Chains A and B, each alone.
Chain A
Amino acid sequence: MRVPVSWLADYVSIEMPLEELTSRLSVSSAEIEGTERIGLPAAPENEALLRVGRVLEVSPHPNADRVRLTRVDVGEAEPRSIVCGARNFETGATVAVALPGAVLADGLRLERRAVRGELSDGMILAEDELGLGSDHGGIMLLQAAEPGTPLSELLTLSDEVLLVEATGNRADLQSIYGLAREIATLFELPLAPIAADVLPAAEPTRQLVISIDDLVGCPRYIGRLFEGVSVGPSPHWLRYRLHAAGVRPISNVVDVTNYVMLALGSPLHAFDFATLHGGRIVVRRAARGEKLTTLDGSARELLADDLVIADGEQAIALAGIMGGAETEIADRTAAVLLEAANFEPTTIFASSERHRLRTEASNRWEKGIDPHLARLAAGLATRLLLELAGGRWSAQGDVHGALPERPVVRFRPERADALLGLETAPERQYKILEALGFERREGDVLVPTWRAHDVRREIDVIEEVARFRLDDVPFTLPVRREMYGTLTRDQLLRRRVEDALVGLGFAEVYTPSLRPDEETSWRLPDPISVELTALRTSLLPSLVEAARRNLDAGARGIALFEIARVYLPGGELPEERPRLAAIAQGGFLHIKGAVESLHAYLKAEPSFERGRHPLLHPGKTAHTAAGVLGELHPTQLDGRWGVFELDLGDLFALVTEPVVYHDVISYPAVREDLALVVDETVAAGDLAALAREAAGEELREIKVFDVYRGDQVGPGRKSVAFALVFQSAERTLTEEEAQALREKVVAAAAKRFGATLRSA
């Protein structure tokens, strides 16, 4: 909300430096996101150079049709000659004049100059030249005042606007008066009362016909009828205040409703009474299929849950959100029905959601506004309407159910001390609460009705004290007697995985968990974009995209990994599994090397068997106990790319902890090479596994170092050469023993796979 400081000053004295005001308010009350200076720039000379003027004479310009010559009394011995382009004034008008040397809102200094050969010794001002509005339709017409009077005595020439971001629970801070109350509490200053019941006319006895069908949705409806009203522009002070608060001035009647909403936080509405069928107000739920064209010109179909204001026949407003176009205040309006009602938050919220329509009013009602405030708002609006639009107040009505009482809440100052970890004298605590409108009563406090929504419990009252003590709260740590901190096994292993991949040259990426193309039941019915539609069931597509972007950017040595969840269709909620996926330039054996190294780093034994995967090369895909690896299908990305995706839970299940030491030092190892000729179809991995099975623990290492195909082994056959390391932890193996182990391997391979020893 935009809060002009000059407006605040109606209610509380603002003498502290602006910076102190904003920084302390931010701590205790509502975030001040910034300040904005509006109006004229600071220029001391302006005080003497901006004056009230009276137009003595208006005559045509001899050389130009679009401007006129004027002579204006500015309180000097001689009137000044001023050339002016506006047409909305004649002789006798009281106007705002800038004399040469004055600095105007655009920051430029006014100079005496000739306009088409006629000297202009000053300027008659429009709103925008003073920075007090956006109107440049004509010059500002002032109420009669003595020529030469400093303009600053009539108008606010410059101001600071606080940009206030109040939190959702503080309906009372959606108003200038509410913020003034916070300032008064914070700086221990008096707060001026709202003189809303001081009315220029006696209350009429004629009753308006108002009926509320739904007292839950609308706890209160005050209607006031004003007849003989003249609709026209508002005076400058009001136009300025609305402009400064960010609301466009429209007409005196509409401006008054907006002004009171800003001042007090309780929204109002004005209807053209002549357009109401039966001259009556009915607050009810909409009939099925009922239609209403709102002020924004949109024709809306109403639902039975929408609360509406209706006349004798039809809906005339979407209650608390927006009025109807048919009953809008127009220039010819002579009878105004002022609505100062109260609406229940969830009703307004639901309608506002359904119609996708948020307004200044609906934003306030959603937060829960005090029904008592409606009367204050009606009073202030009545006074302003009679003052600004004339006419007479001719009828009224105030329909409501039981209005809320001030809640009684237990409050113990020592509880506040205990919760804050800071002592505050009870008297000081009560002083804060009283400044906020609370009343002390024995061991309880009475909560003001405008806080009844958010202060219901002792803890809420404690917060009221705490807000004004935050800077003094000391820095301590909880006293601990139990609990200690440690990472879980999975969390520790996750760090190991990250470190391993970084060590292997992979860069970590984070990619969105929502994807466009996923085949899953977990799709958002109303996504914000096609790209972010469905929860992914695999990390690989995201990584392929990331690799493609890097390739397009000209990156070299691309190797990426991600640890994130996949969302597998489960029961009521998806099964969320942590996965590790990676992509790297290079072929199958390169990525397999990474997978093997990762397993080795984790002390996990990998296993590989041929597999299939839609994104991968059908001949270069393997499954492991934890997932899949392989070469990317050539249609996916240019060049050769290896990828893998492993389920972290399955991977961690393979991890052997702690590592058990093997004696590899005391007794020497015997190294042997062995080349076995087998059919093409026999996998090297199966041969190695068989060798381990046949030779037992004393075969400490077995590695393929060569695969040969050719004349020497014949068609359909291949020779796989292994390097073997035999070693015992208990004794030195003799040549004969090593030979015997080797023979076992050869014999087993011959038996299982028909392997023959390749002759040297």
Chain B
Amino acid sequence: MTNWQQHEEQGMAAIESAASSEALEDVRVGLLGRKSELKLALREVRERETGALLNGIRTRLERRLAERERSLASAEIERRLREEVIDVTLPGEELLLGHLHPITQVRRTVEDAFLGLGYEVRDDREVETVEYNFDKLAFLPTHPARSPRDTFFFDEHRVLRTETSPSQIHALEQRSPPIYMVSIGRVYRRDAITATRYPIFHQFEGLAVDRGITLADLKGTLLHVMRALYGPERRVRFRTHFFPFTEPSIEPDVSCGICGGSGCRTCKFSGWIEMGGAGMVDPEVLSNVGLDPAEWGGFAFGCGLERTAQLRHDIPDIRALWEGDLRVLRQF
């Protein structure tokens, strides 16, 4: 006859001494498997007392096995975690990541700033007629931009647009005011390629035509846009200027971000950085498109995207934006 008490003690000892999940499984099969002594005896048993004894042993063995299994499993997890310690400063796997060009990033910032003010975004043709590029914008016949030394002419009637301003005329001809729009696109000037000039560049140009528009509205609008582009601390000032299609004309300056306005090399020690051109839409431009200047007024302004990108990112040479060099592009 089996000594069940001894059998249980030996079983318990075997469970405790199992060193791995696999060994424990062997022990379990030996103790509680279908062909184990205990299972066979349980199948044979007829007496209530013996049955209770054997069931008690089985329950206790099962409980101990489960406990041992948990502790072995957690020990194994612990060991695996210990073994799998790595140098977390090793580089990650290289996933392909593309880059938006800084000009596009500036373009989106400008678009978003103006969308927030309720403007529409547009772009018009780059090959323009002299009529739209100059005449309707009230350029005097002697304006230097009309010279083939400053402007790319295909023939005497057709040019590569020198600014995005023809968009003002297209917009005003296509629809009635109020108009709030910003046009963004490529423009062309006959400049030799240098660190600060490139004969092809991008401009954004805004136009508001409505009743009761003031110079103060232009100032507030440009402040918003400059802060969107350069940060909330920036200040804006106006300087008088001249453009054929605005009167009064001004040039907006934004306070220098490098020195905060106290003067440094970037701002040529003035504390201010030129941002482009602006002004109140000249009554002649409004008349040219059939609007009554006594009723309607407006403002317009334009800035270069390359210049903006250069200032935002401290890029000294404009050519870096046009050469498609991945060493440059991957920084953005």
Count of residues in A whose CB is under 8 Å from the partner chain: 95
**A476-B217, A505-B96 known; A470+B153 contact, CB < 8 A:** no
Give the residue name and chain of the B residue nearest to A464 (CB): B248
B72 to chain A, nearest CB (A): 39
Q: Would you call A345 and B216 a contact (CB within 8 A)? A: no
Determine if A473 is an interface residue (Cβ-Cβ < 8 Å).
yes
Q: Would you call A513 and B221 a contact (CB within 8 A)? A: no
Q: How far is the CA of A460 from the CA of B242 in the complex (A)?
A: 11
Interface segment, A254-262, A523-531, A614-622? A523-531
Q: Would you call B127 and A535 a contact (CB within 8 A)? A: yes
Q: Can you list, as one digit per residue, whether each of A481-506 has a CB less than 8 Å from chain B (1) or not (0)?
A: 11111111001000100100111111
Q: Would you call B329 and A502 a contact (CB within 8 A)? A: no
Q: How far is the CA of A414 from the CA of B111 in the complex (A)?
A: 35
Q: How far is the CA of A511 from the CA of B319 in the complex (A)?
A: 10
Determine if B247 is an interface residue (Cβ-Cβ < 8 Å).
yes
Determine if B239 is an interface residue (Cβ-Cβ < 8 Å).
yes
Determine if B178 is an interface residue (Cβ-Cβ < 8 Å).
yes
On chain A, the residues within 8 Å of B297 by CB distance are: 419
Determine if B208 is an interface residue (Cβ-Cβ < 8 Å).
yes
On chain B, the residues within 8 Å of A491 by CB distance are: 111, 121
Q: How far is the CA of A197 from the CA of B208 in the complex (A)?
A: 51
Q: Would you call A459 and B247 a contact (CB within 8 A)? A: yes
Q: How far is the CA of A504 from the CA of B100 in the complex (A)?
A: 12
Q: Would you call B127 and A567 a contact (CB within 8 A)? A: yes
A243 to chain B, nearest CB (A): 24
Interface segment, A28-36, A203-211, A652-660? A28-36
Q: How far is the CA of A466 from the CA of B153 in the complex (A)?
A: 36
**A420-B216, A478-B213, A513-B186 known; A576+B240 contact, CB < 8 A:** no
Q: How far is the CA of A23 from the CA of B328 in the complex (A)?
A: 37
Q: How far is the CA of A508 from the CA of B330 in the complex (A)?
A: 10
Given B121, B149, B154, which contacts A525 in the complex, CB threshold below 8 Å?
B154
On chain B, the residues within 8 Å of A565 by CB distance are: 126, 186
Q: How far is the CA of A527 from the CA of B149 in the complex (A)?
A: 10
Given A470, A526, A528, which contacts B250 in the complex, CB threshold below 8 Å?
A470
Chain B interface mostly helix, strand, loop or mixed? mixed
Q: Would you call B324 and A549 a contact (CB within 8 A)? A: yes
Q: Would you call B98 and A477 a contact (CB within 8 A)? A: no
Q: Would you call A421 and B217 a contact (CB within 8 A)? A: yes
Q: Would you call A511 and B248 a contact (CB within 8 A)? A: no
User: In residues 538-565 of chain A, which contact B (Cβ within 8 Å)?
Assistant: 543, 546, 549-550, 553, 555, 557-561, 564-565
B61 to chain A, nearest CB (A): 44
Q: Would you call A485 and B115 a contact (CB within 8 A)? A: yes
B41 to chain A, nearest CB (A): 48
Q: How far is the CA of A595 from the CA of B113 in the complex (A)?
A: 32
Q: How many interface residues does chain B have, given as a range?
A: 35 or more
Q: Would you call A477 and B239 a contact (CB within 8 A)? A: no
Give the residue name and chain of the A residue nearest to B202 (CB): A510
- Residue of A29, A457, A502, A510 with highest tally of chain B CB at under 10 A: A510
Q: How far is the CA of A707 from the CA of B291 in the complex (A)?
A: 68
A7 to chain B, nearest CB (A): 23
Q: Would you call B127 and A459 a contact (CB within 8 A)? A: no
Interface segment, B6-14, B23-31, B46-54, B138-146? B138-146
Determine if A359 is an interface residue (Cβ-Cβ < 8 Å).
no
Give the residue name and chain of the B residue nearest to A527 (CB): B152
Q: Can you list, as one digit per residue, whether each of B199-241 has a CB less than 8 Å from chain A (1) or not (0)?
A: 1100000001010111111011101100000000000111111
**A27-B239, A463-B247, A528-B192 known; A502+B119 contact, CB < 8 A:** no
Q: Would you call A27 and B238 a contact (CB within 8 A)? A: yes
Q: Would you call B282 and A503 a contact (CB within 8 A)? A: no
Given A168, A457, A482, A502, which contacts B98 in the complex, CB threshold below 8 Å?
A502
Q: How far is the CA of A661 from the CA of B44 in the complex (A)?
A: 64
Q: Would you call B142 and A345 a contact (CB within 8 A)? A: yes
**A422-B215, A484-B118, A549-B323 known; A514+B200 contact, CB < 8 A:** yes
User: In residues 95-153 of chain B, which contact A (Cβ within 8 Å)?
Assistant: 96-101, 103-104, 108, 111, 114-121, 125-129, 141-144, 147-149, 152-153
A407 to chain B, nearest CB (A): 16
Q: Would you call B217 and A483 a contact (CB within 8 A)? A: no
Q: How far is the CA of A559 from the CA of B155 in the complex (A)?
A: 38
Give the residue name and chain of the B residue nearest to A477 (CB): B220
On chain A, the residues within 8 Å of B327 by CB distance are: 553, 555
Determine if B1 is an interface residue (Cβ-Cβ < 8 Å).
no
On chain B, the residues within 8 Å of A479 by CB distance are: 212
Q: How far is the CA of A418 from the CA of B294 in the complex (A)?
A: 12
Q: Would you call B216 and A421 a contact (CB within 8 A)? A: yes
Determine if B270 is an interface residue (Cβ-Cβ < 8 Å).
yes
User: In residues 31-79 of chain B, which contact A (Cβ within 8 Å)?
Assistant: none
**A485-B115, A524-B152 known; A470+B217 contact, CB < 8 A:** no
**A511-B322, A549-B324 known; A473+B117 contact, CB < 8 A:** no
B145 to chain A, nearest CB (A): 9
**A485-B114, A495-B108 known; A550+B129 contact, CB < 8 A:** no
Q: Would you call B324 and A550 a contact (CB within 8 A)? A: yes
**A513-B200, A553-B325 known; A503+B98 contact, CB < 8 A:** yes
Given B100, B242, B325, which contacts A550 in the complex, CB threshold below 8 Å?
B325
B49 to chain A, nearest CB (A): 55
Q: Would you call A169 and B242 a contact (CB within 8 A)? A: yes
**A168-B143, A475-B220, A510-B101 known; A487+B115 contact, CB < 8 A:** yes
Q: Can you list, as one digit per residue, whether each of A438-465 has a CB less than 8 Å from chain B (1) or not (0)?
A: 0000000000000000000101101100
On chain A, the residues within 8 Å of B99 by CB distance are: 502, 507-508
Give the residue name and chain of the B residue nearest to A554 (CB): B327
**A470-B250, A495-B108, A524-B154 known; A508+B216 contact, CB < 8 A:** no
Determine if A474 is an interface residue (Cβ-Cβ < 8 Å).
yes
Give the residue name and chain of the A residue nearest to B222 (CB): A475
On chain B, the residues within 8 Å of A33 by CB distance are: 268
Given A473, A506, A573, which contacts B125 in the complex, CB threshold below 8 Å?
A573
Q: How far is the CA of A170 from the CA of B96 in the complex (A)?
A: 56
User: In residues 688-721 of chain A, which contact B (Cβ within 8 Å)?
Assistant: none
B297 to chain A, nearest CB (A): 7
Determine if B280 is an interface residue (Cβ-Cβ < 8 Å).
yes
Q: Would you call B214 and A418 a contact (CB within 8 A)? A: yes
Q: Would you call B321 and A419 a contact (CB within 8 A)? A: no
A13 to chain B, nearest CB (A): 23
Give the residue name and chain of the A residue nearest to B215 (CB): A420
A178 to chain B, nearest CB (A): 14
Give the residue name and chain of the A residue nearest to B115 (CB): A485
On chain B, the residues within 8 Å of A572 by CB distance are: 129, 158
On chain B, the residues within 8 Å of A543 by CB distance are: 324
Give the residue name and chain of the B residue nearest to A168 (CB): B242
On chain B, the residues within 8 Å of A509 by CB distance are: 101, 324, 329
Q: Would you call A474 and B96 a contact (CB within 8 A)? A: no
Q: Please give me the 6 A-B residue pairs with the lowest Cβ-Cβ distance, nearest first.
A: A505-B96, A421-B216, A421-B214, A546-B324, A167-B242, A509-B324
- Ordered by A's residue number, 26 sampled pairs between the chains whose C-beta atoms are within 8 Å are A26-B270, A368-B142, A419-B215, A422-B215, A457-B247, A470-B240, A474-B216, A477-B217, A477-B220, A485-B118, A501-B98, A505-B97, A505-B98, A507-B98, A507-B326, A507-B329, A508-B98, A508-B100, A511-B322, A528-B192, A528-B199, A546-B324, A558-B326, A559-B96, A564-B186, A573-B129
In addition to A27-B239, A419-B280, A471-B238, 12 A-B residue pairs with Cβ atoms within 8 Å of each other are A168-B144, A462-B248, A466-B248, A471-B237, A473-B216, A483-B178, A485-B116, A507-B101, A508-B100, A511-B322, A513-B186, A546-B323
Chain B contacts to A: CB under 8 angstroms: 96-101, 103-104, 108, 111, 114-121, 125-129, 141-144, 147-149, 152-155, 158, 160, 178-180, 186, 190, 192, 199-200, 208, 210, 212-217, 219-221, 223-224, 236-242, 247-251, 268, 270, 280, 282-283, 297, 321-327, 329-330
Chain A contacts to B: CB under 8 angstroms: 23, 26-31, 33-34, 167-170, 345-346, 349, 353, 356, 366-368, 418-422, 457, 459-460, 462-463, 466-467, 470-471, 473-488, 491, 495, 498, 501-514, 522-528, 532, 535, 543, 546, 549-550, 553, 555, 557-561, 564-565, 567, 572-574, 576
